[in-house]
Amino acid sequence: MTTFRLPVILAVAMCLALILGCGSSASDFETFMGETLPPTVEVLKMDGNWGADPWRCWEISPADSDLMRALVARWKLTPDPQAFHGVASGDHIYCRYEDLAESFSGNADSYRAVGVDLTRKVLIVYFYNG
């Protein structure tokens, strides 16, 4: 029986590791944005549509200026006070932020935006690939 238990235990452990390790907001962020989140931050909220027009909107706390600079540089974003005008999905509007201290956006094959809410000390990051 001991010979049988070890492979089963290993298989169960690997399945759990895959289930728990995949699909988190942090891994989702890394997949779409190409940047690993610093260990000092956490994803407070992540909205998104996983359909034909995938989009994601993350709230990351505390706002990390190094991460913001890296994303702005990586995606060649430029200052844009209207970067977070919202995404209509169903009967809701998501990712609308009007009072950000700074916000940047870029237009190319994919749309990305980064902004900072200084009041809440939150970094807002948006990705749309339609």
> Which residue ranges in the chain fall short of pLDDT 50?
1, 10, 12-22
Alpha helices in the chain (DSSP H): 2-21, 25-33, 65-74
Q: Which helix (H) or strand (E) covers residue 48, if one does?
A: strand 42-49
> In the prediction, which pLDDT does 7 show?
53
> In the prediction, which pLDDT does 85 show?
86
| CB neighbour list of residue 67: distance below 8 Å, 6 or more residues apart | 35, 37, 38, 41, 60, 123
> In the prediction, which pLDDT does 31 show?
83
> In the prediction, which pLDDT does 97 show?
92
> In the prediction, which pLDDT does 21 show?
41
pTM of the predicted protein model? 0.76
Query: String of b and e for 37-50 (b: at least 16 CB within 10 Å)?
Result: beeebebeebebbe
